[in-house]
Each structure stands twice: as C-alpha cells, then as structure tokens.
Amino acid sequence: MTDVRLRFYNTMSRRLEGFEPIEPGRVRMYTCGPTVYDFAHIGNLRSFLFEDILRRALKFFGYDVTQVMNLTDIDDKTIREAKAAGLGIREYTDRYIEAFFEDLDTLRVERAEHYPRATDYIPQMVELVKRLEAAGHAYRSDGSIYYSISTFAEYGKLSGVRPEANLTGARVDSEEYEKEDARDFVLWKKTGEGEPSWDVEIGPGRPGWHLECSAMSIDLLGEEFDIHTGGTDNIFPHHENEIAQSEGATGRTFAHYWLHAEHLIVEGEKMAKSKGNFFTLRDLIDKGHDAVVIRYLLISVPYRQKLNFTFDGLHAAEQALERIRNTLRRLDHTPAAERSGELESAVVEEFQHEFRSALGDDLNTARALGALHTLLRQVNTALDGDGISEAARGQLRQAINEADSVLGIMPEAEGGASGDDEIQSLVDERTAARETRDFARADEIRDQLSEMGVVVEDTPHGAVWHKKN
Ligand code: AMP
Ligand code: ZN
C-alpha cells in the first residue's frame, strides 16, 4: 500500500501535483478562518469540513500536522455589528468565537494547533507593514497605507487577475471587491469616528483584512510553508493580496500548495449571508437533523465540486449513514462463525487500498465513501451466508476504524451510543423470554422495539437487529 501517493490540485499551477512537504514527515498549513460577526452558515462549514478532511488525511498518510486557522475579529462587518449591538469588539466577537467552536465540535471537526485572533497580532502586522514600506511596496495616502500592486511583478499569478495598466495607482478601501478591481489595496486603514483604532509606530489606524493572514502565518508557520487553503471566493482578492504582501516582504515562496474548496450552493446560487439563502448548523439541528448526517452530506461530494444543498440530499445522507450503522450493528451482534467463508482478508485489503487511493486522489471523498459502502455490502452478504470469523471481524473493525479516523462518521465516535445499549438489552431480554418459551413477553418486546423503529430478525446465528430505513 505504500505506493499510494497523496496528490492535490494546486490552484497556483492549475494541475494535480504529488505532495512533497518542505520538511519530510511534517506539514505546516494555514487555513483562512471565519469572520466572527455571526454564526457560521453550512456553506462556511463545508469549507471547514474540507480542511478537516485534509488535516485528517495528512495524518492518515503519516504526516505530523501543524495547522493554523485565523479568527477574523476585526473588519468592516465585525465593527458594524458590534456597534449595532452596543458592545466592544472583543466582547462582541467572543460570543461568536465560542459559537464557532461549538459548531466545530458538533461536526466533529478536529481542532487545529493554533487559532490566532487578528487583534492579538497587531505588533506582527505593524512589523510587516514596515517591511513592505522599506521594500518600496507601500505608500501613504489620506491617512491610510496602501499596497502598490504595480511594484509586485507577479501580482495575479494565483487568480489570473492582472492589474490593468491604466488603473495603476487606483485604490480600493473596501476589503472584499470584484475581479474588475485589481487595485492597490489597503494595508493599514485610517479609522472613522468611534471605530477601534491602534496608536502604533506606523500611525493610528486598524489593519486591513488581508494583512492579518500574512502576519499570522509568517509568525506561526514561518515565511515559507506547505499548504494554504480557503474557499474559492478567497482566491481573489484575499489570497492574491496575501501573496503580494508576504512574498513582497520576504522574497520567498509563501505557500507551496494552494487548495480551494468549491461552494455550497442553493438553487444555483452560492450560499451567503448577504443573499439570505443560508442555514446555520443550529437551524438544521433545531429542525431535528443529526449532526453526523450533516457532516456526511457536506463531505460526500469532493471538495472541488459545487455541492447543491437540498433536504432530499440530507435525507439521502441519513439513509446512507443508517445503512452503515445497521451493518456495523449486525457485525457487532452476530455471533462469530467458526471460519469466514465469504469474507476473505483480501476483501479488506482491497478496501484499504481503494480507500487510500481515493484520498490520495485529491481527497476524493465520494470515492472513499463508495469504497466503504462496497465493503459493507460484502459484509452483509457474508453475514447472510456462512458468517464472519472472529479473526476476520477484528481485521474489518480495524480497517473501518482507520478509515473513520478520516471520515469521522461512525457511531463509536458519538460518545456513548446509549440508545443502542437500550435496544440491545431489550433484544437480549426477548431472547431470554423465547428461551423460557414466554412467547407473549417476547412478542410484547418485539412490538416495543418496532415502535422504536427497530426490526429484529431471528437468524441461525441468533437474534440480530437493525433500524428501519
Ligand atoms: P467568512 O466567515 O465569510 O470569512 O468565510 C469563512 C470561509 O467560508 C471562507 O473560507 C469562505 O471561502 C467560505 N465560504 C463562504 N461561503 C461559502 C459557501 N457558500 N460554500 C463554501 N464555502 C464558503
Ligand atoms: Zn486569510
């Protein structure tokens, strides 16, 4: 299996590349995090789940991972919303940082090593602006400091958006802007009345959004690191500007691989706060949807394809996950066969190879999940037939657990499948009643289980149960 390599589509080169970290065995990666002015919507969470799969896959392939995800706690939106709520920016954003971590836990997203807040990195940002001024990339105008994109010859190399010669010197103060506006962008911004401001060496003001990611990644990962990620909407202007800032200051290649997640869309349009077509994770949980089903849905489409969110899709994810859970329960509760007739260890090895190849193929999660479903169909067939031996069962469980270290969808990880314990004890009680020929009691329990959506089958290997789909 060692021949399977990890390959990623690099937005910079626009092709698939074999992955080679700068330091053998160790990966440093930077992931653009949320702007903490409100709850994240499930579109944002799709991007964070892609990064979770990336992180887990890197570990699965044996790398040590150092991941940084910034928390943007100062920008036009956070300032506006904090003001409207009558709170200081720190107090206001604290709430949404907490909510963000709750959402990550709900979706079983592994924690990154660092979650720097922009407002804690002002000295590093000031330092970077000074370096850019010294290198001739920055200029002052109307109390703000701007990056002069015509001084960075490679501007546009990531996004393909080249500055138009006739716009040289045209400036843009807003932090998010359209491709037509390849203009000088603000590094350090003059603040308005009542806005948070830092009185620092480069003059009073506050940081522009792009500056924080360059300053924090250089501080925590070094001037040159392996992977930088975000959603496709980050490519321009955010990542293009990060490159101009970082490489303009250091003269080194900022990040070696650029990976971008496609959007979650609703009826053909990007899910976005500004469009009003969004759901938060809390909205869906309040409607009674299971968090792991939401995770399953959001990872089920490879990250470079758009994912169209529908409730039918969510329902299909629920059924797919229930099929997995039913098979695992069957496997757990069916007594072992003397020897495995149908389930050879070659079947498990084939699954392991296919699963690893799928991940190595630019994190093809659809293919990885397909491999899992194929394996579990074979498990069902074997359980219908001669059964599965204890040895084969151990090998299966290990392979499934390894796969789940990336997928994060198995019931074991849910922390106490208490419902399952209750069902199992009822099934055991029914078996005992049948053994003492108390069929009335046995039937009563069967009815009770049926009301709970559980079907019991009496097989040559004893009673096995599954949840109705
Ligand atoms: P924000 O909080 O707006 O800075 O966004 C956080 C992350 O979510 C960024 O990496 C965005 O690229 C990503 N994002 C925003 N909208 C969507 C969407 N509809 N689908 C997937 N990712 C998104
Ligand atoms: Zn960023």
CB distance 234 to ligand 1 below 6 Å: yes
Q: For position 413, what pLDDT does the model report?
A: 40
Which residues sit with Cβ closer than 5 angstroms to ligand 2, an ion? 32, 213
**Cβ pair 215, 122 in contact under 8 A:** no
| The two three-digit tokens of residue 273, written as one number | 């706060």
Q: Do 263 and 28 touch, CB atoms closer than 8 A?
A: no
Give the Å distance between the CA of 358 and the centre of ligand 1.
25
Residue 297 contacts residue 313 (beta carbons within 8 Å): yes
Q: Which two tokens mark 368?
A: 């990885």
The predicted-structure confidence for 332-349, as pLDDT tens digits, reads as follows 888 888 766 667 888 999
In a mutational test of the pocket of ligand 1, which residue from 76, 81, 233, 280 has the highest number of ligand atoms less than 8 Å from its CB?
Answer: 233
Can you say how many angstroms the Cα of residue 348 is from the centroid of all Cα atoms in its chain? 27
Ligand lying closest to the C-alpha of residue 308 = 1
Determine whether the shortest distance from the Cβ of 266 to ligand 1 is under 6 A. no
Q: How far is the CA of 368 from the centre of ligand 2 (A)?
A: 29
Give the number of whichever ligand sits closest to the CA of residue 213: 2
- Ligand 1 atom index nearest CA of 230: 10
pLDDT in tens, 6-55: 999 999 999 999 999 999 999 999 999 999 999 999 999 999 999 999 99
Q: Provide the pLDDT confidence category of residue 190 given band limits of 50, 70 and 90.
A: very high
Question: Which residue owns the Cα nearest ligand 1 atom 8?
Answer: 44
Cα–Cα dist 163/283, whole Å = 42
pLDDT tens digits for 419-433?
Answer: 677 888 899 899 999
**Phi/psi zone of residue 280: left (φ > 0), alpha (ψ -120 to 50 degrees), beta?**
beta
Residue 296 reports pLDDT greater than 50? yes
Going from the Cα of 247 to the center of ligand 2, the distance in angstroms, rounded, reads: 15
In this structure, the dihedral spanned by the alpha carbons of residues 123, 129, 135 and 140, taken in order and rounded to 10 degrees, is: -140
Question: Cα separation of 424 and 436, whole Å?
Answer: 19
CA of 261 to the centre of ligand 1 (A): 9
Distance CA(42)–CA(277), nearest Å, equals 11
Q: Which ligand is nearest to the CA of 261?
A: 1
State how beta strands 264-266 and 269-270 pair: antiparallel
Q: Is the CB of 32 under 6 A from ligand 1?
A: yes
| Better pLDDT: 178 or 160 | 160
**pTM for this entry:** 0.90
Rg of the chain's alpha carbons, rounded to an integer? 26
Using the mean position of ligand 2's atoms as its centre, give its distance from the Cα of residue 197 in Å.
Answer: 21
- Using a 6 Å cutoff on CB, does residue 263 contact ligand 1? yes
Bond prior to 302 in cis (omega within 30° of 0): no
Atom of ligand 1 nearest to the CA of 264: 20
Residue nearest to atom 12 of ligand 1 (CA): 231
Q: Is the CB of 43 under 6 A from ligand 1?
A: yes
Q: Is the CB of 230 under 6 A from ligand 1?
A: yes
Q: Nearest bound ligand to CA 241? A: 2
**Of 168-182, 191-205, 214-228, 295-309, minimum mean pLDDT range:** 168-182
| Token pair for 429 | 């009680």
CA of 334 to the centre of ligand 2 (A): 50
Beta strands 64-69; 138-141: pairing state: unpaired
Distance between Cα 441 and ligand 1 center (Å): 55
Residue 380's pLDDT is what?
94
Mean pLDDT (the chain) is: 92
Tokens of residue 152, six digits: 């960075």
